[in-house]
Amino acid sequence: MEVNFLGKHRYHEDANEVFQYDRAELKNEPVDSDKYKRVVGMFINRHSSYQVNRLTELKRYYLHDNNIHYKKGKRNPRQADNRIASAYPQYITTFMQGYILGNPVKYSNDNKDTIKKIEEFNQHNHVDYHDSLIETDLSIYGRAYELVTYDPEGLERVIKLQPETTFVVYDDTVDPQPLFGVRYYQLRLGEEITYYVEVYSESMYAKFKTKSESYQSLSLVGEVKANIFNDVPINEYKNNDDRLGDFENVLDNIDAYDLAQSELANFQQDSNDALLVIKGNPYTGTDTPEYKLDDDGNIVYDDNGDPIYNKNSEGDTLQKMLNANILVLDDNPNPDGAQPDAQWLIKQYDSDGSEQYKKRIVDDILRFTFTPDTNDQNFSGTQSGEAMKYKLLGNDNLRKVKERLLTSGFLRRLKLLSSAWSVKKISIKDIEDTNIIFTPNLPEDKQLQINMATSIHGIISDETVVEMLSDVTGIDAKAELKRLDKQNEKDAQSFGQYPNGNNPFKQPDSSVSDVEDNPKVNTGGDNEQTE
């Protein structure tokens, strides 16, 4: 494969198109009808023809298989042609994934049954890991997909799907809603290939197969099954409104950096093969004609399209000298030629200029992806918290956008599940009341947190102070307050501070008046007090 390295356009203009279709056209059509299958086949062809190329290239970059590997080779086989691919795409994706979801997402809801079902579902599906895979796909492709379904044991499952083989078609309303989702793939048995298509509508699920590479003539596999989730069970996430990956807008910068690194390696290698120039030697290479000719007198060319030299011609002699790392500058025909001499021919290299050029490219890559440069000497714990906030301002703004879009996706996942949980009296309204809490995963100065909590102790409530220290202790604030109550009660009992059996940590009985509890309360007379 050869790519248009640093060319004008990478992808087709529809490479990131959001598919839409008229809902009314399919309103009364069964999912296995000829019309429905024609529409599905049309979108599969658009996806595979225009969109897959972009998705596979972005995945290649994430795997360090950058376009530098597919750049057109040099014509001179003697020149070094190193291809060094940088790992900036994976660095950017790994940072964003860890920053957003390095700390697991937390769910809160006043309905205990709702929280219990969410926790059971998350534990059964290892949702913390699943969510990190979703964020990784978002960072690479700009989109991610999951399927909400059941396993053989009847438990709800959520499964990540590949963006290269999955898409969702939306209706054409002002606020587009999913119309149907598609997963397509192929299985090979020897030389025989079978193409499969899974279609998920709001009410039905069907699986098809065909021998046609263009996914025509789809035939139903098994029976059409009812969809109990009452909505399209393929859930699409977006990295941003344009569905762009985190490093997609700096691919040209990455290519430029790879080229600069590769050319530096080429220079170093070519310098080891410097030419020995000898001046003032006998004239060589005198045979004619210069190039080989066929029987018709035409020049013969090699596989690269270059003319083939005749033996001992000037070109042939020069090629042999280059292969021996020697360059003879023949000046015998000139009576006033140079005196015999020899020297190494070495190309000069501007190392400072090259390093500044690469640094500028790296700065642009990190700046335009809002990724902090952790190798920056100024990016350290010695700076103040406010200074660090300014360094992370762009990344923090990007995080908030990602969190809002992830929250939308997580809530849609839970709403799909609520159809199955309705037997547990958990409604969509209960799901909508769920709060999804993200905690950025960044190094923290715990001593600073302790000092801050200590300084405001007594000014604000104990519960707020304990909440501030929950990240330090690893203990939930409510659990810590209960521990404090037990500890204070135990300490008070140890020192005999409960006269007459009164426990100061227990709430007073509202049925007993203040006068009865405190015999010295002013009764309102002439400043008299009851003794």
Is residue 525 domain-resident?
yes
Name the residue type at position 19: F
Position with higher pLDDT, 18 vs 313? 18
Is residue 124 domain-resident?
no
Domain boundary (329, 345, 361) is at 345
Is residue 483 domain-resident?
yes
Could you read off the pLDDT of 26-54 as tens digits, one per residue? 988 999 999 999 999 999 999 999 999 99
Can you tell me whether residue 302 is helix, strand or coil?
A: coil
Averaged pLDDT of the chain: 82
Could you read off the pLDDT of 66-88 as tens digits, one per residue? 999 998 887 777 778 889 999 99
Is residue 196 domain-resident?
no
Looking at the structure of the chain, the number of domains it has is: 2
Domain boundary (316, 345, 374) is at 345
pLDDT number for residue 427: 67
Position with higher pLDDT, 394 vs 146? 146
Domain boundary (313, 345, 377) is at 345
| The token pair that represents 27 in the structure block | 């309103």
Long-range contacts of 411-418 (CB under 8 A, 24+ apart): 411/436, 412/235, 413/146, 413/148, 413/158, 413/235, 414/118, 415/231, 416/148, 416/229, 416/230, 416/231, 416/233, 416/235, 417/117, 417/121, 417/148, 417/156, 417/229
CB 214 within 8 A of CB 186: no
Position with higher pLDDT, 12 vs 508? 12
Domain range for 284:
275-345
Beta carbons within 10 angstroms of residue 249's beta carbon: 13
pLDDT number for residue 503: 55
CB 463 within 8 A of CB 481: yes
pLDDT number for residue 446: 63
pLDDT number for residue 51: 97
Is residue 334 domain-resident?
yes
Could you read off the pLDDT of 167-200 as tens digits, one per residue? 999 999 999 999 999 999 999 988 899 999 999 9
Beta carbons within 10 angstroms of residue 39's beta carbon: 20
524 pLDDT above the threshold of 60? no
| Most trustworthy range by pLDDT among 117-121, 395-399, 480-484, 525-529 | 117-121
100-114 average pLDDT score = 88
Is residue 514 domain-resident?
yes
Is residue 400 domain-resident?
no
Could you read off the pLDDT of 441-464 as tens digits, one per residue? 766 656 666 777 787 777 878 777
483-491 average pLDDT score = 81
Is residue 456 domain-resident?
yes
Strand partners, 328: 278
